[in-house]
Amino acid sequence: MKKLLTIAALTASTFTAQAEVRINGFANLIGGITSSDDTVYGYEDKISFSEESSFAIQITGDINEKMTATGQILARGEDDYEAKVAWAYMTYQATDKLSISAGRLRLPLFKYSASLDVGYSYHWVNAPRAVYDVEFNNIDGVRFDYSTYAGDWEYNTQLALGKITVDNDNVKFVANNTAVFSVEAVNDWFKARAVYGTSKVTLDSAAITEAISVLNDLGLTELYNNLAYENDTSPFLGLGLEVDKYDWFVSGEITILETEKSFNPKSDAYYVTAGLRLGKFTPSVTYENFDSKEYKFLDQVNALPLPDANKAGIEGLVRGLQEGSFNKHNVITLGLRYDFDTNVAFKTDLSRYDNKLNDAETTLLRVAVNYIF
């Protein structure tokens, strides 16, 4: 935390010499515990405050009348609060309707993409993980934001172009030639949103490469190429609807992600949520579902001109590789938000997590304090 504040102070002092600076931030203190020793979102049967807690500072400086520079430094509990640069970009306000941003910025994948890390911006303890738990929220590139009106309708469009890189311990995910386009239509209490994205994805994993290298050794090049995650086209589709009458609201999002020529299975996810606003209290109920369990390339294996014993071994390899990415579950959450102040919210979510792969059900209780400044 001290390191985060020091970096923010140094960055702000650099900006101040040349521009008017605005400093904002947020904090999410989240604790959770499960009803059994099954792990849900990293939580177990001992209370933990590190899995989803975070602290961030955002610094914005006006370069001139049309240009601004923005940086966000974020520290997550799951990373021992190591400060990292989440966003760093410049924005040019070309017209009243069009702005162009370049640098490291947020992808317009979901309704809450821009404020996903700001827990205060929504009624849950955390956004539904079935839909929002993806590896690729940020992009290094350029984004065009355009807004206009037509009659009683407001239209907001975003186009992001660039490259995504996620480097974990033993796996490197790279999405080149990424393009994501979203459009949102708003009319008073009704909102509709659609997003389409595509990229050329490579997943660099020594373990996976070693596992499927035997296929090349056997001369099964086509099957190897189908399983390998190398420069494969990966489309993303999302749809969202919202009805917000202020006293009550109903909304939902659905997403589909598929990389046809890879071991990674197609994933379908959605959530539906509804709630009431009763003064400072917002009770809600949310249902979410994630389905990523579908074998690929088994017909290709069965058609191989090989003895049954050999085909059985290859089929076991193909199944095992895909099963490592299988996930099928649903979650029902009862939530309550209390707006303690204009910038502080207390929340609690009680979730029933149903793992369809092993027929296991677990209850997760989470509490949160969200703060913005």
DSSP-based three-state secondary structure for 208: helix
pLDDT at 19: 62
Identify the weakest region by mean pLDDT among 22-31, 215-224, 249-258.
Answer: 215-224
What average pLDDT score do residues 218-243 get? Answer: 90
C-alpha–C-alpha distance, residues 162 and 198, integer Å: 11
- Residues with Cβ < 8 Å from 204, sequence gap 6 or more? 171, 172, 173, 174
pLDDT at 323: 86
Q: Average pLDDT of 193-222?
A: 88
**pLDDT value, residue 7:** 47
Whole-angstrom distance, CA of residue 180 vs CA of residue 159: 6
| Whether pLDDT at 3 is above 80 | no
CA distance 262 to 238: 21
Pairwise CA distance, residues 266 & 237, whole Å: 12
* Tokens linked to 27: 């904090």
DSSP string across 90-136: EEEE-SSSEEEEEEEEE---STTSTTTT-GGGSSSSS--HHHH--S-
pLDDT digits (tens, 9 = 90+) for 138-167: 999 999 999 999 999 999 999 999 999 988
Partners of residue 179 on adjacent β-strands: 161, 198
Residue 188 zone, left/alpha/beta (φ > 0; ψ -120 to 50; rest): left
pLDDT of residue 308: 82
The CATH homologous superfamily of the domain defined by 2-372 = Porin (2.40.160.10)
Q: For the chain, count helices (H), then strands (E).
A: 6, 17
pLDDT of residue 225: 86
Which pair of tokens denotes residue 224? 């190897």
Cα–Cα distances in angstroms (integers) from residue 201 to residues 115, 136, 183, 293, 350, in the given order:
26, 11, 24, 20, 36
The 10 Å Cβ neighbour count of residue 219 is 9
Residue 203 has a pLDDT of 85
Find out whether 158 and 145 touch, Cβ atoms under 8 Å: yes
Contacts of 208 (CB under 8 A, 6+ apart): 228, 229, 263, 321
Higher pLDDT, 170 or 326: 326
Provide the angle, in degrees to the nearest 10, between the axes of the packed helices 206-217 and 308-323: 160
More confident residue, 18 or 70: 70
pLDDT 10s digits, 169-183: 788 889 999 999 999
For residue range 327-345, list pLDDT tens digits in order.
999 999 999 999 999 999 9
Mean pLDDT for the chain? 92
pLDDT surpasses 50 at 193: yes
The H or E element that residue 204 is part of is strand 190-205
- What pLDDT, in 10s, does the model give residues 6-62? 444 445 555 445 568 999 999 999 999 999 888 999 999 999 999 999 999 999 999
